[in-house]
Structure 1
Amino acid sequence: MAIHVTTRKLLALAAGTALLSSLPLGVAAQGAADFPNKPIELVVPFGAGGGTDVLARVIAEAAKKHTSQAITVLNKPGASGGIGLTEVALAKPDGYKIAMVTAEMAIIPHLGIMKPMPDDFTPIVRLNADPIVLTVRAEAPWNTIEEFVEAAKKSKDPMKFGNAGTGGLSHLSAEALSQKIGTSFSHVPFQGNAPAVVALLGSHIDAVTSSPSEVSTYVNSGKLRALGVFADQRFKGVGFEQVPTLKERKIDLSMGTWRGLAAPKNVPADVMEKLSGIFIKAANEPAVQESMEKQNLGYSVVDGATFRKQIMADSALFKQLIDKLGVK
C-alpha cells in the first residue's frame, strides 16, 4: 500500500512539474511577481562627484518612493566607463544590477576598450541630455573662443586638455575641436571629469570639455569661464545663457552627452516593465527635476525604446568619428 501511495505522489509531482514547465517563463520562475525583493545595485562607471554620479544618487533617492527596496549606488571607474559597464553587461540578467549609462556607452566599444556593445544592454530610461562646453580658468588670458583658438595655434607647446579618459566624450570632443581649428592638444586623462576640473582649478591643465553640470558651480562662482558650447543653440542653464555656440563663432561642431539607466540584455520583460515603472516615476518627481535644474543637468526623460534608438544612432555616429580621427 505504501508503494502505491509513493507512486501516486511521484506521478502527481511529475504532472505538476510538467504543468509548471508548460507555463510562460515569467510564471514558472515567479521572478517578477515579487520583484524587487532585495536591493538593486546601480553601478556608476565613473568616480564620485561628477555629474553622472550626482544624478545617479538623486534618482536613487527619488526611487525610494516607488519601491520598498534600496537602490545602492556603486562607483566603478576606469577605462572611460568600460570597467563598470562591462561588469553590468556580464551580470546575471535578473534586474538587480543596472548601470548609469552615458554617451561613452556608444563610444568606447569602437575604441576596443571593452567588448560589450550597446545592444548588450536593455535601456530603461533616459534622464537627461546636455551639450559639451569648453571651460578655462577665470584668470586665463582668453576671454573668447577666438582668443583661445588663436593662442592654441600660436602656442609652442600644445594646450593641455583634461578629460575623463582616453576615448571618452570629453576626449573626443576636444580632439574634434583640434581637428576643426587645425591644431593639436595634449590630452590628460583622469578617472572622470570631476578630477579633471579639480586639475583645471589648480592650473595643472589649460582647459576641460565637459557637460555644463560638471563645471556650473565654478562657472557661477567666477572660478572658471565657459568659452563656447558645442551645440546648435545656446544652452539655457544658469550661468551659460550668454555663452556662444561654436557655430556662432564659425566653428562647425556640435556634440553632446546623455545619461540614463540600462540593464543587461535578456532581463525578463516583466522585470524590465517594473524597472521602467520605478525609474520613470522617480524621474518625474519634482525633487529630481529641481535637483537637475540646480546642477544644470538638462532634464530630458524618454522611455527605454526611444532611448535605444538614440543610443544606436549615436553609436553609428561615434564610430564614424573615431575612424575619421584615428583615435583608436
Structure 2
Amino acid sequence: MTRTLVRSTIAGAFAFLLASLLALAPAMAADYPNRPIEFVVPSSAGGGTDVMARNFAEVARKYMPQTIVVTNKPGASGGIGMGEVQRAAPDGYKVSVLISELAIIPHLGMIKFGTNDFIAIARINADPGAITVRADAPWNTVEAFLEHARKNPGTVTMGNAGSGTIWHLAAAAVEEKTGVRFNHVPFQGAAPSVLGLMGGHVDAIAVSPAEVSSYVAAGKLKMLVVMADQRLPGLYAAVPTFKERGVDLSLGTWRGLGVPKGTPPEIVNYLRDVTRKTVDDPAFKDAMAKGNLIVAYMEGEQFKPFMSASSDYFKKLLTTVTIQK
C-alpha cells in the first residue's frame, strides 16, 4: 500500500505540474516578447548573412518592444549556429538565420538535422554566386580565367566560405560544367575568404556579389561572371552571366528565419508579422540595396516547401560534383 500510495502521489504531482505548464504556455506566448530576442547568424561577421541580419535587427526595432541581439556562431558550414537554435527551447527567444547550407550539409553527413527540423518564419533574401578576382589579376574575362585553369589543372586556388557551403558547391559546379579543376581553399565564412583574396592568399573566390561589393566599387576587386539567369543591375550591370557565355549554370544562396519545432503558433505568427513589416519597410529595402543584397521575401507557408525542394535539388547535384571535405 505504501509503494502504491507513493507512486500515486508522484503521478499526481507530475500530472499537476504538466497541467500547470500547459496552462502557463498561452500566457507566456501572450507576453512575448518580454526580453531581447537573439538572432543566431551561422557565419562570420561581415558577410552577406551577417549584413542582412543586422539590417533586419535595426529596422525591426520599429515593430517590436524588445531589441534583437545578433550573435555570430560560424563553423561546420553553418551547422554550428543553426544546430544551436534547432536544439534550443522553443520559446521564440532564439531565432536562426537559416541559410542554403541547411539544404546541403545534411547530405554530406555534416549535421543530423535538416530543413524539416525548423518552423519556417520567412525567406528574406536570395543572391546568385559569382567569381571574383583581384583587380590586378591577369584575367579580364571569365573565358581567360577558365582557359588558364584548364591549362593548369589544380593550380588555380579558389577560395570559398567553407567546406560544404553553397559557395564551395558553386565552385565545384563550375568545375563540373566546364571541365576545369580548382584547388579549393575553405575559409570560415565568406568575409574571411574575401580578405584571403585581398591578401593574395587565393587566386579567386566564389561568393555572392554582396560580399565583395565595397571592394569592387573601390576598384580593388573585379567580378568576372555571375551565376544568375540574367545580369544584375547597378554596380554589376556590365558583368556577364555564365549562361551568356554558353555555360548552363545558375546557382546561388538564400537566407531566411526559422525557430525550433514546438514553438507556439502565437509566437510564430508574431515573428512572421514582424518579419513582413520589416521587409516591407523602405529603410530595410534601402539598407539591403546599399549592400547589393537582393530582397526575395517568401511567406513561411511557402518557404518550408521551398527549402525541402532546395534540399532535394542539392542532394541530386551532389551526385554530379566532387566535394572534398
TM over 0.5: yes
Equivalent of 1:277 in 273, 277, 288: 273
User: Structure 1 vs Structure 2: percent identity of aligned residues?
Assistant: 51
Note the C-alpha offset of 1:313. 0.8
Equivalent of 1:233 in 230, 234, 241: 230
Equivalent of 2:299 in 303, 308, 313: 303
AA paired with 2:270?
Answer: K
CA RMSD of aligned residues (A): 1.9
Q: In structure 1, how many angstroms separate the alpha carbons of the residues matched to 2:101 and 2:154? A: 29
Residue 55 of structure 2 corresponds to residue 35 of structure 1: no
Note the C-alpha offset of 1:31. 2.1
Partners of 1:26 and 1:32 within 8 A in 2: no
Note the C-alpha offset of 1:258. 1.1
SS of residue paired to 1:142: coil
AA paired with 2:64?
Answer: T
CA spacing shift, 1:156–1:22, aligned 2, 3 Å? closer
Equivalent of 2:77 in 76, 80, 83: 80
AA paired with 1:247?
Answer: K
How many pairs are equivalent?
310
Residue 225 of structure 2 corresponds to residue 244 of structure 1: no
Note the C-alpha offset of 1:70. 1.4
Equivalent of 2:139 in 118, 138, 142: 142
CA spacing shift, 1:150–1:33, aligned 2, 3 Å? same
Partners of 2:153 and 2:180 within 8 A in 1: no
Partners of 1:131 and 1:235 within 8 A in 2: no
Detail structure 1 runs of 4+ shifted over 3 Å in the superposition. Answer: 20-23, 25-29
Residue 168 of structure 2 corresponds to residue 171 of structure 1: yes
Offset from partner CA, 1:186-218 (integer Å, 9 cap, x none): 111111010100111111101111111001111
Note the C-alpha offset of 1:323. 2.3
Note the C-alpha offset of 1:324. 2.3
Unaligned runs of 5+ in 1: 1-13
SS of residue paired to 1:136: strand
Q: Trace 1:13-92 onto structure 2 (pairs within 5 A).
A: 21=19, 29-92=26-89
Note the C-alpha offset of 1:259. 1.1
AA paired with 2:114?
Answer: M
Partners of 1:26 and 1:268 within 8 A in 2: no
2:124 alignment partner in structure 1: 127
Q: In structure 2, how many angstroms separate the alpha carbons of the residues matched to 1:136 and 1:326? A: 23
Q: In structure 2, how many angstroms separate the alpha carbons of the residues matched to 1:26 and 1:47? A: 40
SS of residue paired to 1:125: strand
Larger Cα-atom Rg: 1
2:263 alignment partner in structure 1: 267
SS of residue paired to 2:205: strand
AA paired with 2:218?
Answer: S
Q: In structure 2, how many angstroms separate the alpha carbons of the residues matched to 1:214 and 1:43? A: 19
Residue 199 of structure 2 corresponds to residue 202 of structure 1: yes
